Chain A
Amino acid sequence: MPHVLLIEDDASVRDGMELVLRRHGYAVFAAATGEEALALLASPAGQDVELAVLDLMLPGIDGFEVCRRVRATGSTIPVVMLTARGDDGDIVRGLESGADDYVVKPVTAPVLEARIRAALRRAEPVRRRPGEDTYAGLVIDRAGLTVAKHGTPLALPPTELRVLLELSASPGQVFSREQLLRSVWEHDFLGDSRLVDAAVGRLRAKIEDVPARPVYVQTVRGFGYRFGPV
C-alpha cells in the first residue's frame, strides 16, 4: 500500500481526499500546514512517504516553498500540486519549484487518483535496456535508475528522470511535447505542455554544464525536444 502525504489546510477537503484515497488502498498522512508536512517528512515515519499531494495556498509557508524545501533535502518523491484552474502564474511557479504534476481544484476523485497512480508509476524501475550509457560527462544507469554528472551522482525526481530516460532511449529523435506528456505523465487529455517545459527546465538545471546552452536535452523550435547529439 503506497504511502501518500496530503498537505491541505482546509479540513473538509483534506478529509474528503483522505477518505477517497483510503478507500482506494492508500495509506494517508495528512498535514494542515507546510511546516507540519516538512516536520513529518523529516521524522522516521516520513521515510515511508512515496508521494505528496500539495495545496499551493497554505497558511504560513506556501506550497512553492514547501516544494523547494522538500527538493532541497534531496528528496525525490513525486509532488502533485493542487491549484486553482488557470492561475497560470501559480502553475508555472509550482512546476519550477519542483512539482511533477498538477491537478485543478475542484478535482474529482478519479482524476486525482489517476494522477497519483501515474506519478507513482514513474518512480518504478524500468528495464528497457540494461547497463550504463555514457554521453560526454553524463552517465545514465538504466538498471539502477541513477544519473551521474562528471562522476557525481544526481538526485533526479522521477518525472525528470523519466523524461531523460525517454529522450536518451533514442538519441537524436525529436519528441513532441504531446508525445512526452502521453509517455511520461500518461495524460489522457489535451495536456499542458508547460509540464514538459518545466520538467525539461529542471532537468537541464541539474545535468547541463551551462543550462542556458543545453547539450544533452536540446530544444527543436516548434516541434519539441531531443537528446543530443552530444
Chain B
Amino acid sequence: MSEVSGGAGTRERRGRWRRWGGLRARLVVAFVLVALVSAVTATGLAYRESRTAVLERKQDAVRTDFKNRVDQVAADLSVPPDEVSLTRFAGSVADGLGDSVVVAEYRSLKGSSDASADRSLISPSLREAVRKRNRMSLQRIDRDGSPYLAVGTPVTFESGPPSGLDVFAVTSLRAEQDDTAEILDAVRDGLVPVVLLAAVLALLAARTVLRPVRELGRATRRHAAGDLTSRVEAPKGRDELADLARDFNRTADALESSVAELREQEAKARRFVADVSHELRTPLAAMTMVATVLDEDAAQLPPDTAHAARTISAETARLARLVEDLMEMSRFDSGAARLNLGEVDLAETLRNTLALRALTDRVRTHLPDGVRAVVDPRRIDVVVANLVGNALRHGAEPVSLTLAASGDWVTVEVTDRGPGLAPDVLPHVFDRFYKADSARTRSEGSGLGTAIALENARLHGGTIEVANRAGGGAAFTLRLPWRRGEEDAK
C-alpha cells in the first residue's frame, strides 16, 4: 500500500548536508582557519617586535646624534640669539643630522633649518614637556600616514639654569616604516599559498578519513537494502577507522550467518509443511474417493455403522479442505504462488462467486457493470467467497457486497450488520488458525481462510482492510490495483 519511502528524499537531504556540513568541508574550514590564525598571529607578533626594535634603534640614534650635535653647535651660539643666528644655529645642527628639520626657539623667536618645513609637527605638548621637564623629550607623530619622530631638548650651558633656548628636530620615519611594512607584505603574499596549502592538506586528511567512512557507509546502505554479503575492503593499518571497518565486517559476518541459519530453518519448516501436505494428499485422495460409497450406502447400514460412515465421510472432506489450504499456504510461503491473469468483468466474476455457492439470495449486491480488470479470477473468487462466507457465519444479515472503482484502485467491500469485531480480535483476523471465539474449538473452515484471502490480495499487489462500521457490523475491504486490459490474458 502506501509505503513511506525514505529513499530519495533522505539521499537528497544527505547530499545537501554533505555539501555544507560534511566532514570534508568542516575539515577544510578548520585547517584554513588554523593556518590563517597562526599566520596572522605570528605575523602580528613578528611585526610588532621588529617595528619596536627598528624604531628604538632609530630613536636612540637620533637622540644621540641630536644631543651631540646640539652640544657641539650650541657652544658657538651667543645668547640671547637673534633670528638670524637662530636660523644659522638650526641649520648647522641640521647639517649633522641627515635629513632632519631642525627648529630652534628662543622665547618668541624661531629659527628653522628649512623655512618651508611644516613646523606644526612640533606639538605644543612636546614643547611643554621640554620646557617643564627641562630635558630631552621625544614624540612620535603621524601626519597624513607618514610617521615622524620629533625630538626636543632645552639647551643648558654648563648645567646652569635653562637658557630658554629649545631645539627641536623632526626626522621622517618613513624608511623604517617601509622596512617593517615589507614584513607585512611578505606575509600577505605568503598567506594565499599558505591557505591553499592548508586546504590541500585538509583535503588529503579528509580523504584518508572519508574514504573508509564512505565505504563503510556504502556497505551499510547495501546491508540495509538487504544485501548481507556486502563487506568493507580489508582495511590496512591499525587506526580507529580500520578497527571500525574490521568490526563492521565481523558484525556483517555474524549477521549473515545467523540470517542464513534462520532462512535455512524457515525453508526447512516450509519444505516440511509442503512435504507433509503432499504426503497427506495420496491417502486423502483414496479416502475422498471412497467416502461417497459410504454416503451412498449409509442408508442400508445399521444405525451406528451408518452414523460412523457419515462421520468418516464428512471428516474426510474437512481434512481434504484443510490439506488443500495448507498446501495453498505453503505455496504462498515459498513464493511458488503465481497469478494466472485474465481480463474479466469484475461484476460478473463476483456474481458467479455468489451463484456457485448459492448465496445470491442472501447477499445484497451493488455491482456496477463494466469494471474490467486484469486479475486472477480464481483467486478473486476465493477471496470474496471467504469474506462473504465469514460475514454470513460470524456477522449477521443483511450482508452486502459492493464493487467500486476509482483512479488506480478497485475496491470490493463486504459488510454485515452483526456486532462487529472485538477490539482484541481485530489485529488477529488474518492470523493463521486464529480462533476469535475460544469456545468454538473448530471453525467450519480450515482456519486458514482469511490468511489465504489476504495472501491472494497481496499477490495481486493489493490488500484487505478490516474495520468496524460506525453503524455496527464489520467491513472487510479488498483493495486491488486497477490493472486495465492491454495485457495478453494468458
How many chain B residues touch A (CB < 8 A): the figure is 42
Stretch binding the partner chain, chosen from B99-107, B243-251, B288-296, B462-470: B288-296
Structural contact, B328 and A86, CB atoms closer than 8 A:
yes
B385 to chain A: closest CB distance in Å?
9
B253 interfacial contact with A, CB 8 Å:
no
On chain A, the residues within 8 Å of B79 by CB distance are none
**Chain A contact residues (Cβ within 8 angstroms of B): what range?**
35 or more
Residues of B within 8 A of A19 (CB): 289-290, 293
Q: Are A108 and B286 in contact (CB under 8 A)?
A: no
Report if B285 contacts A (CB, 8 A): yes
B490 touches A112 (CB 8 A): no
List of A residues within 8 angstroms of B209 by Cβ = none
A128 at the interface (CB under 8 A from B): no
At the interface, yes or no: B76 with Cβ under 8 Å from chain A?
A: no
Interface SS of chain B: helix, strand, loop or mixed? helix
Residues of A near B489 (CB, < 8 A) are 177, 193, 221-222
Smallest CB–CB gap between A82 and chain B, Å? 8
Chain A residues near B349: list those with CB within 8 A: 190
> In the complex, A104→B288 CA distance in Å?
12
Does A15 touch B at the CB level, under 8 Å?
yes
Q: Which residues of chain A are near B486, meaning CB under 8 Å?
A: 221-222
**B183 at the binding interface (Cβ < 8 Å):** no
CB distance from B344 to the nearest CB of A (A): 8
Interchain residue pairs with CB less than 8 A apart (26): A13-B286, A16-B285, A20-B293, A84-B281, A85-B327, A86-B327, A86-B328, A86-B337, A104-B324, A105-B284, A106-B287, A106-B288, A106-B289, A107-B289, A109-B291, A112-B289, A177-B342, A188-B356, A190-B352, A190-B378, A194-B340, A197-B490, A221-B488, A221-B489, A222-B372, A222-B486
Given A12-B283, A189-B356, A193-B489, verify A107-B288 contact (CB < 8 Å). Answer: yes
For window 367-395 of B, CB contacts with A under 8 Å fall at 372, 377-378, 381
With the chains together, A190 CA to B284 CA distance in Å? 24
A10–B288 CA distance with the chains assembled, in angstroms: 14
Cβ contacts under 8 Å, A108 to chain B: 288-289, 291-292, 317
Contacts A106-B320, A109-B291 aside, 16 further interface pairs with beta carbons under 8 A come to A20-B292, A85-B324, A86-B331, A88-B340, A105-B281, A106-B285, A108-B289, A108-B317, A112-B289, A189-B356, A190-B356, A190-B378, A193-B340, A193-B377, A222-B485, A222-B487
| Nearest A residue (CB) for B331 | A86
How many whole Å from B362's CB to the nearest CB in chain A?
19
**Interface check B131, CB cutoff 8 A:** no
- A48 CB–B CB distance under 8 Å: no
Interface residue? A229 (CB, 8 A) = no
Whether B340 and A13, one on each chain, are in contact in the complex, defined by CB atoms closer than 8 angstroms, is: no
Q: Which 3 A-B pairs have the closest CB atoms?
A: A16-B289, A12-B286, A109-B292
Residues of A18-62 contacting chain B, CB below 8 A: 19-20, 23
CB distance from A190 to the nearest CB of B (A): 5
The docked-state distance in angstroms from the alpha carbon of A192 to that of B340 is 9
Interface mask (B328-343 → A, CB under 8 Å = 1, otherwise 0): 1001000001101011
Cα–Cα distance between A7 and B320 once the two chains are bound (Å): 22
| B360 CB → nearest A CB, Å | 14
A106 close to B281 (CB less than 8 A): yes
Whole-angstrom CA separation of A178 from B342 in the bound complex = 11
CB distance from A156 to the nearest CB of B (A): 22
Chain B residues, CB < 8 A from A178: 348
Q: Which A residues are CB-close (under 8 A) to B327?
A: 84-86
B67 interface residue (CB < 8 Å to A): no
| CB proximity of B468 to chain A, nearest CB, Å | 30
How far is it, in angstroms, between the C-alpha of A190 and the C-alpha of B353 when the chains are bound? Answer: 7
| B278 and A84 form a contact (CB under 8 A) | yes
Contact with B along A168-211 (1 / 0, CB 8 A): 00000000011000000000111011100100000000000000
Q: Is B78 an interface residue (CB 8 A)?
A: no
Taken residue by residue from 142 to 168, chain A's Cβ proximity to chain B (1 for < 8 Å, 0 otherwise) reads as 000000000000000000000000000
A17 within 8 Å of B (CB atoms)? yes
> What is the 8 Å Cβ interface bit string for chain A, positions 86-127, against chain B (1 contact, 0 not)?
101000000000000000111111101000000000000000
Whether B488 lies near A109 (C-beta < 8 A) is: no
Shortest CB-to-CB span from A21 to chain B, Å, is 10
Known: A189-B356, A222-B372, A222-B485. A10 touches B289 (CB 8 A): no
Query: Chain B: which residue is nearest A55 at the CB level?
Result: B285
The answer to whether the Cβ of B282 comes within 8 Å of any Cβ in the partner chain is yes
CA distance A227 to B349 in the complex (A): 25
B288: nearest chain-A partner, CB-CB: A106
Q: Which residues of B contact A223 (CB under 8 A)?
A: 343
Docked Cα-Cα span, A215 to B320, in Å, equals 45
B351 to chain A, nearest CB (A): 11
Q: Which residue of B lies closest to A194 (CB)?
A: B340
The reply to whether A85 and B283 contact each other, CB–CB distance below 8 Å, is no
Closest beta carbon of chain A to B345's beta carbon, Å: 9
Closest to A223 in B: B343
A192: nearest chain-B partner, CB-CB? B378
Nearest CB in chain B to that of A105: its residue: B285
From known contacts A84-B281, A190-B349, A190-B378, infer whether A17 and B289 are also in contact, taking CB-CB under 8 Å.
Answer: yes
With a CB–CB cut-off of 8 A, which chain A residues contact B337?
86
**CA A110 to CA B317, docked complex, whole Å:** 13
The chain A residue with its CB closest to the CB of B320 is: A106
The contact string, 1 if C-beta is below 8 Å from chain B, for chain A 60-98, is: 000000000000000000000010111010000000000
Across the interface, name the chain A residue whose C-beta is closest to B348: A178
Residues on the B chain within 8 Å of A17, using CB? 289
